[in-house]
Amino acid sequence: MKPFRAPLLITVLLVGSLTPTIEAQAPATTASSTRASVTTLASDAFEGRLVGSAGEQRASDYLVAQLKRIGAKPLPGHQDFLQPFEFTAGTRDGGSTVTLSRASGPRTFNTAADVQALSFSDNGDITGGEIVFAGYGIVVPESQNFGYDSYATLDVKDKVVLVLRYFPEDADQKTKGILSRYADLRYKAMAARQRGAKALLVVTGPHSPNAGQTVPMSFDTALAGSGIVAASISATVVDELFKSLGDPANTLDAVQHSFDSGNPHVAGFAIPNATLTVHTNVVREKRIGHNVVGYLPATKSTTGVAKPWVALGAHFDHLGHGENGNSLASQEEIGHIHFGADDNASGCAAVLAAGESLAATPRTRNVLLGFWSGEELGLLGSAAFVNAPLVPLNQLSAYLNFDMVGRMQDNKLTVQAAGTSPSWGRLLEQTNIAAGFDLLVQTDPYQPTDVASFNQADVPSLNFFTGTHTDYHRPSDTADKINYEDLDRVADFAASIVRKLDALDVPPQFTKVEQATDQGGGRAGVRVFTGTIPDYSTDVKGLLLSGVIGGGPAEAAGLQKGDIIVEIAGQTIANIYDYTYALDVLKIGEPTKVIYLRAGEKKETQLTPGARK
């Protein structure tokens, strides 16, 4: 499951609360249909199934073997079960440098200990840039009713901006709480870029954690840079730079101390008699991930059958050893294999078990079985399938997704995205008579899992989920903690739903779910809601929309899938991170100008944000 599942703030409808019948429960002596798949995928040999890794490759080989075992075939027109897709696996510094030029001559710094490109930096060269020190480089939007702007008295246009890392160390807790929200390095880079700076340099002050050290390059899945050259430099470089001030008392130590109170009236300053040449080289490592996709051919002719495909899917990737920043491992668990038994070996096992059951029965529709990779990095695999479908999406009658279905408690099964078709409510209720789950049916398809990709493709969809737990995204999510009896029941339930779908002459009709928002005035603590759905998988400058939420502000403003937002409320947008930060300048109920590209043509609209409930 994609990191940090948010609480589901939607109405819950209890469809069935029947105690499981004796007929629905497998006898204790019956072998589990899901245990072998979970224990294999969540074993040491698969090393956490990180997308693009050898463990992912071994997992895909296993899934292909299981598809062949149950009689599945490669999709029509394809020779094998794999669908490759390219993704950004991480970043590294390819040799960044900073050259300080003064009357005494130039000095170049080129080691990682002295200069390190920030992971989101553009690649580029800034020559002979004048330098401005801007304190902590923090700007708090006016909407927060807290006056703090590191650039209030500074002109940084076409200059190199130097800022301190983190936020004022000695400020009171309330001030720290506000400033820390805007202290992210991406936010600081955006603030500098918005004010015309050519480059941003970051130094860790002597009173801060990791004093004087450069910032290690972090994992960053962004395919594009942030629109500005950005790097961290050591205290050694800054000490040399501050010598240009001509005052031995103006040390980095003293300057940081003056800013650490959080007093917004402490101003930055220009650094005369010196210029900087900055070269940044961020190497974005591209790798190939693989979806595994096969199908069970219909046993009867599909001629005349409306939408003759139904699909079941689950993501099979997980976090490897937790190296990419999504881990919730404790200090003692760092670096250990994240087995991902529930997330999402359980979902894969359910798809295989349901597929094996369906393979033994007559079918008027083809049954697609899909296993997506790259979900943990932003639904990459399912997005790749939807963007380059191996089966025409308008031929899919429905899609059933399984993500974390192995840890059922108190017989509760959550079924999400049921609002994507009016057919789902009755079909689920009828199927549950035999299954006997305490079924929680939720309408919202905008979930942090692969069902969202199919919803954006207008495919009626369902997502099955048994709830989160304390082992989520930790090495302790192991196969011995799976409730196999109930996981088997989930797989049987899904197979029964597919059989009912298969018997329908008229397949479910897709309905776009509108997400309710509060259109009232601004309220403290409520984040604005724009109704945009970003595309994480494409290298563009701006925010590419993979869709908009039905009934949301973006749809009302005329925005649509494929549009690229390049400016909102006067803030230029280079990527999803800029857009997220720009939301803080928006006010609920107040129209704001949005500039976007559609088929290369620049357009403008007015968007009125709502309040996210």
Closest CA to 349 of 407, 428, 263, 271: 407
Per-position DSSP letters for 184-246, written without gaps between them: -HHHHHHHHHHTT-SEEEEE--TTSTTTTPPPPPPP---SS--SSEEEEE-HHHHHHHHGGGS
Q: Are 262 and 213 part of one and the same domain?
A: yes
Q: What percent of the chain has pLDDT over 70?
A: 91
Residue 522 belongs to a domain? no
- The mean per-residue pLDDT over the stretch 126-155 comes to 92
Q: Is the pLDDT of residue 524 over 50?
A: no
Give mean pLDDT, residues 181-200: 93
* Beta bridge mates, 282: 93
Residue 494 pLDDT? 98
Whether residue 558 is found in the same domain as residue 573: yes
Could you report the per-residue pLDDT of 429-483, keeping only the tens digit for each? 999 999 999 999 999 898 889 999 999 999 999 999 998 888 999 999 999 999 9
Cβ-proximal residues to 416 (8 Å cutoff; 6+ apart), any chain: 8, 442, 444, 445, 447, 451, 462, 463, 464, 465
Q: In what order do the strands lie in the sheet with 412-416?
A: 13-17, 438-441, 412-416, 461-465, 396-402, 309-315, 366-372, 282-296, 82-93
313 and 275, same structural domain? no
Residue 208 is assigned to a structural domain of this protein: yes
Report yes or no on 142 lying in a domain. yes
pLDDT above 80: residue 537? no
Kindly report the CATH number assigned to the domain that includes residue 599: 2.30.42.10
Instruction: Report residue 478 as tokens.
Output: 């192991």
Query: Do 198 and 302 share a domain, yes or no?
Result: no
> Does one domain contain both 401 and 492?
yes
Picking from 248, 280, 312, the residue at the C-terminal end of a domain is 280
Q: Which residues contact 48 (CB under 8 A, 6 or more apart)?
A: 55, 318, 319, 320, 321, 322, 337, 338, 339, 340
In a domain, 516, yes or no: no
Give the tens place of pLDDT for each residue, 38-88. Answer: 999 999 999 999 999 999 999 999 999 999 999 999 999 999 999 999 988
Asked if residues 5 and 468 have their Cβ atoms less than 8 Å apart, the reply is: yes
pLDDT tens-digit series, residues 311-364: 999 999 999 999 877 788 888 999 999 999 999 999 999 999 999 999 999 999
Q: Do residues 346 and 236 both lie within one domain? A: no
**What is the C-alpha end-to-end distance of the chain, expressed in Å?**
23
CATH code at position 378: 3.40.630.10
Residues 240 and 368 placed together within one structural domain of the fold: no
Mean pLDDT, the chain, as a whole number? 89
Residues linked to residue 292 through DSSP beta bridges, in sequence order = 82, 371
**Domain annotation covers residue 7:** no
- pLDDT level of residue 584 (50, 70, 90 thresholds): confident
**Which residue among 235, 263, 280 closes a domain?**
280
| CATH (domain of 112) | 3.50.30.30
| DSSP 8-state assignment for residue 139 | B
Examine the domain organization and report whether 188 and 271 are in the same domain.
yes
pLDDT of residue 612: 61
Environment class of 44 (CB within 10 Å of its CB; exposed 0-12, middle 13-18, buried 19+):
exposed
For residues 140 and 259, give the distance between their C-alpha atoms in angstroms, rounded to a whole number: 16
Number of domains in the chain: 3
Secondary structure class of 24 (helix, strand, coil): coil
Q: Which residue has the higher pLDDT, 277 or 5?
A: 277
Is position 8 within any domain?
Answer: no
Residue 519 lies in a domain: no
* CA angle, residues 106, 112, 114, in degrees to nearest 5: 45
| CA 370/CA 352 separation, integer angstroms | 10
pLDDT confidence of residue 24 = 37
CA dist 490 and 498 (Å) reads 12
16 pLDDT more than 70 = no
Task: Check residues 172 and 111 and name the one with the higher pLDDT.
Answer: 111
CA distances from 364 to 303, 421, 500, 504 (A): 9, 21, 11, 10
Give me the pLDDT at residue 28, please.
44
Mean pLDDT of 520-526: 35
Both 82 and 172 in one domain: the answer is no
- As a whole number of angstroms, the distance between CA 199 and CA 280 comes to 10
Q: Based on the domain organization, do 86 and 205 belong to the same domain?
A: no
Asked whether residue 318 falls in the same domain as residue 388, the answer is: yes
Cα–Cα dist 267/71, whole Å = 71
* Nearest by Cα to 459 from 344, 370, 538, 536: 370
Pairing of the two strands 592-598 and 601-607? antiparallel
| pLDDT over 60 (residue 426) | yes
Among candidate residues 260, 280, 300, the one where a domain is terminated: 280
Domain region containing 602: 528-611
Q: Does residue 291 belong to any structural domain of this protein?
A: yes
- Nearest 5°: the CA angle 72, 452, 284 is 90
Is residue 203 within 8 A of residue 158, CB to CB? The reply is no
> Are residues 207 and 315 both part of a single domain?
no
Q: Which amino acid does the sequence have at 486?
A: D
